[in-house]
Amino acid sequence: MLSDGSHHPPAAVAPPTPANPTSGSRWLRWGLLLGLLLLALTSIFYDALTTGGGTAYLLQRGQTFVTIFLGIFIEAVPFLLAGSIVSGMIAVFVDQAWLDRYMPRQALVGSLAGGLMGIVFPVCECGVVPVVRRLFGKGLPISTGIAFLLAAPAINPVAILSTYMAFGFGPILWGRIFFSYVIAVTIGYLFSRAEPAKVLLPDVNQRHHDACCAVHSGDAPEPQATKPPLDARMNQAMRLAGDDFFDMARYLIVGSMLAAVTQTLVPQTLLLNVGQGPLISVVIMVGLAFVLSICSTVDAFLARAFASTFTTGSIVSFLVFGPMVDIKSTIMFLGVFRRRTVGYLILLPLALSILAGVWWNMNVGF
């Protein structure tokens, strides 16, 4: 099976060029974090001087930052751990030949299948990233992996159940499932013609390239080959899960800090006091979803608090866009994809989520 949706022969897959896969992303992450921290400190000290709050005010803002950061981080860690365990299991128990045998060869069908994979894995936007990275290392096509990456956080069983508990069996539940799946499949299909070397970081692309070549050259292990005992394989899976957890946790920490800084700087009342129209309400709620970085398994309860003041289309957009992209998941994307790809993974879901919300407000209206 070809990694790019069978549009090119295996020989056309270019090997990755030697590069440092993390230096550029590392400087970008820490530069952005340092800039926001400096902005936060400037804003806090300015407010302390102008309001006369002094030390007490500074301590209050600092406590707000710590509270928000710990809330986001502690909420996301269990799902990152679950995703890392799934990633370790995939590394040990799933081989490239299996993916090549059962994954659809056509790009559109592969994207449709990738979106449906989200039903199988109850992982949020934090846990899905290490799983997708591991699947790419097993030779999963780019289009299938991206559709799964974007769809899984919103249409997994836990997120669906929480949405049902918050809104009942009604249009918001079905709107979230439908638009999340359609947008994820659409974006996955758009990536079907992209070369993996231009989408993935060099080290991830190298594993992806080697996996595809191993399958097509016949070097992949046969299913009936002798394998280590089950306990040895489980130990290996847990070791790999630990490696993935600590590798992705640094991105989660940075993303959680950025989200906390943003929430500390931007008063939520400013966001909630504007935007009652069919367009501006959607834009405000989409921006709020990105800034708050709430886990997709509990974001429906937060959206419920806005349901009486915001349009229904904006609530649906909040529930669709937030699980796909927020501050912490954007930082985590940098551990898998090139920076240009991360930009596309932000802008495309943003545009389509806004379009879906506006269409809902103009045509459905409830």
Query: Which positions ≥6 away from 353 have C-beta within 8 Å?
Result: 179, 183, 286, 317, 320, 321, 324
Say what the pLDDT of residue 178 is: 96
Strands (E), the chain: none
Asked if residue 183 lies in contact with residue 349, where contact means CB atoms within 8 angstroms, the answer is yes
Judge whether 136 lies within some domain.
Answer: yes
* CA separation for the pair 70, 263 (Å, rounded): 13
Please check whether residue 28 lies inside any domain of the structure: no
7 within some domain: no
Residue 230 token pair? 């089950």
Domain for residue 14, yes or no?
no
Domain that holds residue 210: 36-219+231-363
Asked if residue 246 belongs to a domain, the reply is yes
Two structure tokens written together for 76: 């996301």
User: Hey, what long-range contacts does 338-344 have (CB within 8 A, 24 or more apart)?
Assistant: 338/198, 338/199, 338/200, 338/201, 339/24, 339/25, 339/28, 340/198, 341/198, 341/199, 341/200
Cα dist. 363→313, 356, 359 in Å? 10, 10, 6
Strand partners, 200: 337
Tokens of residue 205, six digits: 């692309």
270/292 Cα distance (integer angstroms): 14
- 337: phi then psi, degrees, rounded to nearest 5: -110, 160
| Helix axes of 312-324 and 171-190: crossing angle, nearest 10 degrees | 40
Instruction: Indicate the angle between helix axes 23-51 and 339-363, nearest 10 degrees.
Output: 60
Is residue 21 one of the residues assigned to a domain? Answer: no
Q: Is residue 62 part of a domain?
A: yes
Q: What is the dihedral of CA 104, 107, 108, 112, to 10 degrees?
A: 50
- Whether 360 and 219 have beta carbons less than 8 Å apart is answered as no
pLDDT at residue 102, as a whole number: 67
Q: Whole-prediction pTM value?
A: 0.70
Q: Tens-of-pLDDT digits for all 366 residues of the chain? A: 444 444 444 444 344 443 344 445 455 555 555 665 566 556 655 555 555 555 666 677 778 778 878 877 777 677 777 767 876 777 677 665 666 666 776 888 889 988 888 787 667 777 788 888 888 888 888 999 999 999 988 988 878 888 888 888 889 999 999 999 999 999 999 998 888 889 998 888 888 777 766 555 554 444 445 667 878 888 888 887 887 778 767 767 776 776 677 667 766 666 566 556 788 889 988 988 888 777 777 788 778 877 777 889 999 999 999 999 988 889 889 988 999 999 999 999 999 999 999 999 898 866
Q: Tell me the two tokens of residue 312.
A: 């229904």
Q: Does any domain span residue 304?
A: yes
Q: Report the number of distinct structural domains present in the chain.
A: 1
Q: Enter the tokens of residue 309.
A: 């003041």
Q: What is the C-alpha to C-alpha distance for residues 183 and 191, in angstroms, rounded to an integer?
A: 13
Q: Which H, E and C letters describe 103-146, residue by residue?
A: CCCCHHHHHHHHHHHHHCCCCCCCCHHHHHHHHHHCCCCHHHHH
